[in-house]
């Protein structure tokens, strides 16, 4: 085939991305947690067949969700709007119920959007409150647009008024839990279903429960990739890696290990994993056990916080193994952390500094600079959320 022919064929293929998500089929999904767990963590396998898309271990996949039927009905009740009425969205006619399902974010309340709502309502009290960022941050936590409309009713607003300020329903990013080399034409996710009660109503994570509750095997949903250049395996496969990923933070490390195995990388792999209970929350346990037996994992250190009186976390296991961990880092190992940014990742970061100080014989300022230099050299990758 000539270069011209190749170019023509390539140009004729659809290009999928954020502005044009690929309609991907869900192949399989199942709950990774055992019976009696307080958590619901789903493994989802998604087809990329026909997309022409590719990804690397460490990248993320965005899934474009639909709003849940109960949230839509609650919103229609709060706004006193008729779900069956016809509306125009991007020059396409649909029912209001369909528009609310596919087009608008009914969950996230921000200062900008709340201010627009206050102006449209002519609610001076709410508008004054919107001038206080701290009040907005506190008010919006745990609330959705049903809560807002109930507390600050706007009887005169039409459906089109809400369309003028509600944010578009956008894709949510998930760390990829597979290697494309190990699973051609597939991408896997590890998704924790978010559910909680707030302000007298049961709330759900828009995308997490779309995946776990609504996206049926065989059905399609829009997806696109987000490439993460700062969270990549070392190019030299002989370099050892240390991975810290409690809970759903395990996802990219499943991808990393699969990639290292598939590429024949000789470097040692050390995994730290934690969750609540070993009996019900050891995600991908059979895979890790197999990797240990086959020598694909050098070691796994586990921290199940609720299996004993005193809570144990991954950062505690790091400190217990400080000497060996520092030996690896001093010898050039790459260090990665994935998961909760607000607490876990901060604690892991501080533990890493403390280990560098204690084991490396440094002052804290020197240890901090050392860890920062690791980040600059891309030897310390963070995928936190």
pLDDT, one tens digit per residue, over 249-263 is 999 999 999 999 999
> Does this chain's domain 14-65+171-226 share its CATH topology with 241-384?
no
pLDDT, one tens digit per residue, over 70-104 is 999 999 999 999 999 999 999 999 999 999 999 99
pLDDT at 13: 54
**What is the H or E stretch that residue 60 is in?**
strand 60-63
**What is the H or E stretch that residue 360 is in?**
helix 344-360
Average pLDDT over every residue of 220-246:
97
4: pLDDT confidence band, cut at 50, 70 and 90?
very low
Other Cβ atoms within 10 Å of 250 Cβ, number: 28
Closest CA to 51 of 25, 18, 14, 26: 14
Q: Is residue 260 within 8 Å of 270, Cβ to Cβ?
A: no
Q: Is residue 220 within 8 Å of 23, Cβ to Cβ?
A: yes
155: pLDDT confidence band, cut at 50, 70 and 90?
confident
Distance CA 74, CA 199 (A): 14
Average pLDDT over every residue of 271-282:
98
Lowest average pLDDT, out of 2-6, 28-32, 293-297, 366-370, goes to 2-6
Distance CA 224, CA 14 (A): 13
Please name the CATH architecture into which domain 69-163 falls: Up-down Bundle (1.20)
Q: What length is written for the chain?
A: 385
- Is 271 a residue whose pLDDT tops 50? yes
- Is 5 a residue whose pLDDT tops 90? no
Does the domain made of 241-384 have the CATH classification 3.40.50.80? yes
The secondary structure of 72-140 as a DSSP string is HHHHHHHHT--TTSEEEETTEEEEHHHHHHHTB-SS---HHHHHHHHHHHT-HHHHHHHT-HHHHHHHH
pLDDT at 67: 98
Tally of CA atoms within 13 A in the half-sphere of 70 that contains its CB:
10
- Is 183 a residue whose pLDDT tops 80? yes
Phi first, then psi, for residue 36 (nearest 5°) are 95, -5
Helix, coil or strand: residue 3: helix
158: pLDDT confidence band, cut at 50, 70 and 90?
very high
The secondary structure of 293-355 as a DSSP string is HHTS-SEEEEEETTSSSS---HHHHHHHTHHHHHHHHHTT-EEEEEE-TTTHHHHHHHHHHHH
**What is the H or E stretch that residue 26 is in?**
strand 22-31
Does the domain made of 14-65+171-226 have the CATH classification 3.40.440.10? no
Q: Is residue 333 within 8 Å of 240, Cβ to Cβ?
A: yes
Average pLDDT over every residue of 267-271:
98
Other Cβ atoms within 10 Å of 317 Cβ, number: 19
Q: Is residue 123 within 8 Å of 152, Cβ to Cβ?
A: yes
The secondary structure of 216-278 as a DSSP string is -TT-EEEEEEE--TTS---SSTTS-EEEE--GGGGHHHHHHHHHHHHHT--S-EEEEEEES-H
pLDDT at 14: 56
Contacts of 120-126 spanning 24+ positions with Cβ under 8 A: 120/154, 120/157, 120/161, 120/164, 120/165, 121/152, 121/154, 121/157, 123/152, 123/154, 126/152
pLDDT, one tens digit per residue, over 128-146 is 999 999 999 999 999 999 9
Domain ranges for the chain, please list them: 14-65+171-226, 69-163, 241-384
Judge residue 194's burial from the number of C-beta atoms within 10 Å of its C-beta, 0-12 exposed, 13-18 middle, 19 or more buried: middle
- Is 350 a residue whose pLDDT tops 90? yes
Across the chain, what does the average pLDDT equal? 95
Q: Beta strand 241-244 with 380-384: parallel, antiparallel or unpaired? A: unpaired
DSSP lists the bridge partners of residue 304 as 275
């Amino acid at each position: 085939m000539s270069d011209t022919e190749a170019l023509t064929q390539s140009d004729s293929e659809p290009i999928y991305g954020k502005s044009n998500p690929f309609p991907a089929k869900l192949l399989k999904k199942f709950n990774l947690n055992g019976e009696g767990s307080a958590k619901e963590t789903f493994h989802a396998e998604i087809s990329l067949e026909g997309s022409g898309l590719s990804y690397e271990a460490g990248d993320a996949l965005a899934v474009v969700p639909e709003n849940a039927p109960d949230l839509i009905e609650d919103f229609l009740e709060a706004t006193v709007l008729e779900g069956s009425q016809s509306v125009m969205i991007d020059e396409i006619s649909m029912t209001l119920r369909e528009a609310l399902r596919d087009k608008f974010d009914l969950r996230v309340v921000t200062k900008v959007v709340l201010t627009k709502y206050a102006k449209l309502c002519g609610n001076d009290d709410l508008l004054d409150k919107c001038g206080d960022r701290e009040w907005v941050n506190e008010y919006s936590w745990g609330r959705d647009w049903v809560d807002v409309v109930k507390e600050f009713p706007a009887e005169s607003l039409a459906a089109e008024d809400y369309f003028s300020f509600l944010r578009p329903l956008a894709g949510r990013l998930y760390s990829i839990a597979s290697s494309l080399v190990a699973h051609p034409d597939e991408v896997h996710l590890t998704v924790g279903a978010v559910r909680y009660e707030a302000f007298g109503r049961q709330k759900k994570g828009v995308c997490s429960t779309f995946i776990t509750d609504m996206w049926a095997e065989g059905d399609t949903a829009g997806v696109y990739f987000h490439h993460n250049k700062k969270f990549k395996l070392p190019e030299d496969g002989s370099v050892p890696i240390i991975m810290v990923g409690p809970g759903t933070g395990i996802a990219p490390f499943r991808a990393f290990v699969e990639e290292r195995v598939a590429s024949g990388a000789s470097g040692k792999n050390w995994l730290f994993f934690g969750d609540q209970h070993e009996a019900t929350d050891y995600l991908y346990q059979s895979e890790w056990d197999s990797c240990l037996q086959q020598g694909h994992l050098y070691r796994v250190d586990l921290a199940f916080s609720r299996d004993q009186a005193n809570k144990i976390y991954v950062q505690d296991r790091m400190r217990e193994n400080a000497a060996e961990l520092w030996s690896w880092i001093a010898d050039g190992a790459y260090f990665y952390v994935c998961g909760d940014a607000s607490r876990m990742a901060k604690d892991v970061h501080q533990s890493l500094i403390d280990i560098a100080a204690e084991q490396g014989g440094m002052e804290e300022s020197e240890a901090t600079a050392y860890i920062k230099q690791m980040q600059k050299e891309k030897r310390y990758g963070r995928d936190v959320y």
